[in-house]
Structure 1
Amino acid sequence: MPLKRFLPVIGAALIVVVIALWLTVGQGEHDAYMVAAANPYASEAGGDILKKGGSAVDAAIAVQAVLTLVEPESSGLAGGAFMLYRKPGSEKLDAYDGRETAPAGARPDMFLDEDKKPLGIIPAILSGRSVGAPGAVALLALAHKEHGKLEWASLFERAIELSERGFEVSPKLAAAIARDPALATMPVTQDYFFTRDASGNRVPVAAGTILKNPRLAQTLRTIAKEGPEGFYKGPVAQEIVDAVAHAPSMPGTLSLADLAGYEAKHRDPLCRPYRDYRVCTMPPPTSGGIATLQILGILENFDMGRIEPMSLVAVHFIAEAEKLAYADRGKFLGDPDFVHVPVDALLDATYLRKRADLIDPSLSMKVAKPGDLGDKRADGYGSNVSLAYPSTSHFAIVDADGGVVSMTTSVEAPFGSHLMAGGMILNNQLTDFSFLPEEDGKPVANAVAPGKRPMSAMDPVIVFDKQGDFFAAIGSPGGSRIIGYVTQSLIALLDWNMDMQTAVSLPRFLDRNGPLEIEQGTELEKLVPQLKQLGHEIKLQAMNSGLHGIRATAKGLDGGADPRREGKVVEGVR
């Protein structure tokens, strides 16, 4: 029988097979969703929103609302954040700046003592002066207006329920409370985080305790009903202002006008090529994006893919590149709405090649100097002098349509300023400003000024592959160490082809242009004698990163939660 008689039948069968394959692939690529966040309650809240058809932005709002309750030592709605959002099927990113701002009454010398010397970091944190106008709510509202799918009010339901019914205190939160003596002395926190024993002494709540926060539930209901105005105006705003004005130490000047005038900002994301990828992150006022792209730009001059992962050579080259980036960070970065920040010059490939030439494969440079940019304004800055205690949170979300959120959020130090209002921990982000407004007569780019946003190290990242498709979203807490944590993980993903969980679980090392910090109790300790021979000063210590990320693979989404924290990856198919 001639073959041509069967061609119509064969053709129809092939069409059926192709359609079936297309539907199967489409199901895997576009209907799968994932959340990687720092607490199971938060991850599950985000997953529930995605299951209902919500966008990645919708899920981010639910995640942040729950983190405000269950991880108050790290982030909250009375803090600030940076978010990158990728539209489904697009290489275009929206970059949202929800960094706190200094009040109108802020002064350049507000963190100096009577002798014009910098205050100690603890007195500065535990004061009303440290609290900036919070930006997280405004950021989330702006992103939701542009990319939300579900009703705003519905996104707070889980956080309200947990606040009223109570949640189980995690070991991390319990440990943070127990090791923080100031909490027991501050108004509100002393009653919220402590119980009384038989003798009437305050005892920190233990892990496993069911903790309720009815005041936060009221605040969340107000925000859910009234939108951001329910936070920035009215009773909630008044309570925040009153807490700052009546702080036990150094009351602040944050006013109702400061809160009502706060605006989240659109920024142009910073994107640069690295190998076969395009790495995108946040621009100033955070320094995290520029520093990460500088480190990668320096290392692009070396074949990191052929260097054994986590070997002596790998650690040395990455550490030296970090020294150079941190040196530039300390001089050139600040709020671009107030000072000239030479972004393009710092990321120029020729400049970074010259910086790479300073790396000696056989000897550490000890302490790197900031580069000479040939920019009179920038080269004339003094060095930033700020002190910070790391406490932040990061989460990554991919929705069923392919929308992606990478968001880093913070109250700055553990438990922020230790002041509470509306059931929320108030941030101490203003201590991220330089305590010294000038150095040897030179103005410091990160000096305090009314309405200004302090420099940050937050570093949310989204990576695209060479086809322009989404490849990964990642970020971390850790204060100024964030930069090293994120960059090391990116090298693991992009140069060493590791999966996400392996990348975020790696032993940590970091050089912030001082001693080379090595995570104690890890395999990296074996390299210490050889690193010392290369001239590195070594500091062994705990390095509590909290990396969370999601990677796209041919088999589907691949998530990772840093084992140093209590994060959880939640996935499903809508």
Structure 2
Amino acid sequence: MRKRLIYLLIVIGIAGCTDRDLDERGLVTDQAMVVTAHPLASAVGADILRRGGNAVDAAIAVQFALAVVYPDAGNIGGGGFMVLRQQDGTVDALDYRERAPAAATRNMYLNEEGEVVENLSLKGHLAAGVPGTVAGMVQAHEKYGSMPWHELVQPAVVLAAKGFPLTEKEAQKLNEQRLDFIRYNPVRPGFILRDHWRAGDTLRLQDLANTLERIRDRGRAGFYEGPTAELLVAEMQRGGGIISMADLAAYEAVWREPLTAQLEDYRVISMPPPSSGGIALLQLLTISEDYPLDAWGWNTVASAHLMIEAEKRVYADRAKHLGDPAYYDVPVEALLDRSYIKSRMEGFSLEEETDSDLISAGVPAPAESPHTTHYSIVDPAGNAVSVTTTLNSSFGSKVFVAGAGFLLNNEMDDFSVKPGYPNSYGLIGGEANAIAPGKRMLSSMTPTILEKDGQLYMVIGAMGGSTIITTVYQIILNVTEHGFPMQGAVNAGRFHHQWKPDWVLSEWGGLGPRTSLELWWKGHKIVPKPSGGIGRAAGILVLPDGRLEGGADPRGDDAAAGF
């Protein structure tokens, strides 16, 4: 009885009202919009558009700027996904996800007893996959860029060399990571170590500026060959990592066909595997079609209960069927078959929750950190780009490449280091996502674009590890079903379920008192997100008059810029 009372008090606490305005309208512009995780990066992207660059040009400039001003997720030592829609309606998707080094082995993070060695896939040199960001930006520029390459990289060079003022949040994160930076770097990164950073302090990154200059002047070769590559491999050798010069030379980004689906009035365009985001999002939206969410209302008991139950089933499928399509036959068409998706809700009851132990991955018919960052861009011609990029955990592996000034990812943790063993986000994985040399690890990144009546309607994506998919899902419904403006949809409180563990993660204020209590009585276990909120999103909505509204997430330093 006492435990139930304590739990009830927790639920009531989670239910406290949010002070974020659901009716808030974000920045509205006539021609172009850039929304990123940092004001300086947004300004860089908007300046490229003012100078006549297109959405891909701006995306490249933003990617490199974020590597400087938002080092916990912006990167050149990580990877990501890009979804784009041209003004004429043609779509494309770029996979610049990291790959496992050639020396990687299936059981590389297990001890002699076959048990997972704590933190080995999360921190330090062995956690890093082969970076894909620079190759991805080069290939995006070769196919869609309009401005000279060096003009797109130069803003980041200037930011790194001259320095920039830290925001309060960024200063706090650097302070929190100080001991890990010392512990996991054989050569201490003196340029970022300080007893205490404060908001407004200037951070100068000369080694990173030098690396960016090589990329500016030599393109791909400025990173995957020559001094930068040699510094990266030397860092691996110092710290017991396994990325080699051959791994770097062999890396290629891959153009893929986006996943698309017509759902009521909207065409949804999202990322295919090795991202799980596109499949999971389309499954969730397809399930939602059958229920009157608009009549039920935002975060009411019925709406939240349905969404939670849908999320359980979709994440169960994710655990079994999704991985790198080059290594595993992902049954994409079967997983997106409407009859299959709708069959997953058999046994769903509006009256009570379904125990996750009673839900298994489906058997489709034969034909599969929370610290990312997302940016959305629309240029004056109507071209749109949705990009999610990451180091995985905050500041990745915590390893700086000595002499080159950039952080390495810890994306190897996104593999199933042991089938059935949860990763740092609690996600369960299986055979489809087992480690193999050269393989791309599964991701939850969900860069997405929506059309309405054949016209560009929304550009959306988020950071947040396993919560990315549910964040994007809820924001889309906030706009399409509940009529929120873009900023209000991003502001709105969020919740998340990923099948295992069997609980509903909720922001403080994410669910109202009545919804929280009634979900509790239905059997849902609700736990609070300790800090920072669930996901951080960047969205753009095309208004009926053709103007653009930006939605920048108040959970971070995110900002919209445009003209």
TM-score (norm 1): 0.87
- Structure 1 match to 2:242: 253
- Structure 2 match to 1:57: 56
Residue type at the aligned position of 2:474: Q
Greater Rg over alpha carbons, structure: 1
1:198-237 superposed matches below 5 A: 203-237=195-229
Structure with greater contact order relative to length (CA < 8 Å, sep ≥ 6): 2
- Structure 2 match to 1:39: 38
Residue type at the aligned position of 1:463: L
- The answer (yes or no) to whether the contact 2:495–2:510 under 8 Å persists in 1 is no
Asked whether 1:149 is paired with 2:143, we answer no
Residue 59 of structure 1: how far off its partner (Å)? 0.5
**Selected match of 2:184 from 183, 186, 201:** 186
1:319-358 superposed matches below 5 A: 319-358=308-347
- The answer (yes or no) to whether the contact 2:492–2:510 under 8 Å persists in 1 is no
Residue 119 of structure 1: how far off its partner (Å)? 2.2
The one-character-per-residue Cα deviations of 1:221-252 (angstroms, maximum 9, x if unpaired) are 111111111111111011111212212xxx12
Task: Give the whole-Å Cα distance in 1 for the aligned partners of 2:263 and 2:480.
Answer: 8
**Selected match of 2:525 from 526, 537, 541:** 537
- Secondary structure in structure 2 of the residue aligned to 1:178: helix
Task: Give the whole-Å Cα distance in 2 for the aligned partners of 1:131 and 1:194.
Answer: 22
- Secondary structure in structure 1 of the residue aligned to 2:344: helix
- The answer (yes or no) to whether the contact 1:30–1:402 under 8 Å persists in 2 is no
1:250-329 superposed matches below 5 A: 251-329=240-318
Task: Give the whole-Å Cα distance in 2 for the aligned partners of 1:241 and 1:520.
Answer: 44
The one-character-per-residue Cα deviations of 1:510-557 (angstroms, maximum 9, x if unpaired) are 111120111124453553221111110111113342100101112300
**Selected match of 1:451 from 438, 442, 446:** 438
Task: Give the whole-Å Cα distance in 1 for the aligned partners of 2:69 and 2:188.
Answer: 14
Q: Give the count of matched residue pairs.
A: 518
- The answer (yes or no) to whether the contact 1:299–1:356 under 8 Å persists in 2 is no
The one-character-per-residue Cα deviations of 1:54-110 (angstroms, maximum 9, x if unpaired) are 01111111111111011111120111010011112x222110000000111000001
Residue 264 of structure 1: how far off its partner (Å)? 0.4
Task: Give the whole-Å Cα distance in 2 for the aligned partners of 1:155 and 1:566.
Answer: 23
**Selected match of 2:397 from 406, 411, 417:** 417
- Secondary structure in structure 1 of the residue aligned to 2:152: helix
Residue type at the aligned position of 1:238: E
**Selected match of 1:524 from 486, 496, 512:** 512
- Structure 1 match to 2:17: none
**Selected match of 2:130 from 95, 110, 133:** 133
Asked whether 1:552 is paired with 2:538, we answer no
Task: Give the whole-Å Cα distance in 1 for the aligned partners of 2:507 and 2:29.
Answer: 38
Residue type at the aligned position of 2:491: S
Task: Give the whole-Å Cα distance in 1 for the aligned partners of 2:489 and 2:166.
Answer: 28
Asked whether 1:473 is paired with 2:464, we answer no
- Structure 2 match to 1:12: none
The one-character-per-residue Cα deviations of 1:267-302 (angstroms, maximum 9, x if unpaired) are 110011112101110000011111111111111111
- The answer (yes or no) to whether the contact 2:296–2:303 under 8 Å persists in 1 is yes
Residue type at the aligned position of 2:106: P
Instruction: Give the superposed CA RMSD.
Output: 1.8
- The answer (yes or no) to whether the contact 2:397–2:409 under 8 Å persists in 1 is yes
Residue 123 of structure 1: how far off its partner (Å)? 3.4
Task: Give the whole-Å Cα distance in 2 for the aligned partners of 1:86 and 1:364.
Answer: 39
**Selected match of 1:428 from 410, 413, 434:** 410
The one-character-per-residue Cα deviations of 1:172-210 (angstroms, maximum 9, x if unpaired) are 211212223312323256523222xxxxxxx13222110
Residue 469 of structure 1: how far off its partner (Å)? 0.6
- Structure 1 match to 2:92: 94
The one-character-per-residue Cα deviations of 1:390-446 (angstroms, maximum 9, x if unpaired) are 11100000011111110000000111011112211111111100011589xx97110
Residue 30 of structure 1: how far off its partner (Å)? 11
- Secondary structure in structure 2 of the residue aligned to 1:149: coil
**Selected match of 2:554 from 563, 568, 571:** 563
- Structure 1 match to 2:23: none
Asked whether 1:511 is paired with 2:497, we answer yes
- Secondary structure in structure 2 of the residue aligned to 1:172: helix
Task: Give the whole-Å Cα distance in 2 for the aligned partners of 1:498 and 1:123.
Answer: 43
**Selected match of 1:493 from 470, 479, 482:** 479
- The answer (yes or no) to whether the contact 1:177–1:183 under 8 Å persists in 2 is no
- The answer (yes or no) to whether the contact 2:225–2:248 under 8 Å persists in 1 is yes
Residue 167 of structure 1: how far off its partner (Å)? 0.5
Residue type at the aligned position of 1:134: P
Residue 355 of structure 1: how far off its partner (Å)? 1.3
Residue 31 of structure 1: how far off its partner (Å)? 7.0
Residue type at the aligned position of 2:455: D
- Secondary structure in structure 2 of the residue aligned to 1:272: strand
Please, which moves more after superposition, 351-360 or 422-431? 351-360
Q: Percent identity between the aligned chains? A: 37
Please, which moves more after superposition, 214-223 or 126-135? 126-135
- Secondary structure in structure 2 of the residue aligned to 1:125: coil
- Secondary structure in structure 1 of the residue aligned to 2:260: strand
Task: Give the whole-Å Cα distance in 1 for the aligned partners of 2:543 and 2:362.
Answer: 39
Residue type at the aligned position of 2:411: Q
Asked whether 1:105 is paired with 2:103, we answer yes
Task: Give the whole-Å Cα distance in 2 for the aligned partners of 1:545 and 1:437.
Answer: 26
Task: Give the whole-Å Cα distance in 1 for the aligned partners of 2:352 and 2:510.
Answer: 24
- Secondary structure in structure 1 of the residue aligned to 2:527: strand
**Selected match of 1:394 from 368, 374, 377:** 374
Task: Give the whole-Å Cα distance in 1 for the aligned partners of 2:338 and 2:331.
Answer: 14
- Secondary structure in structure 2 of the residue aligned to 1:488: helix
- Secondary structure in structure 2 of the residue aligned to 1:104: coil
Residue 374 of structure 1: how far off its partner (Å)? 4.1
Task: Give the whole-Å Cα distance in 1 for the aligned partners of 2:206 and 2:175.
Answer: 23
Task: Give the whole-Å Cα distance in 2 for the aligned partners of 1:189 and 1:414.
Answer: 18
Residue type at the aligned position of 1:564: R
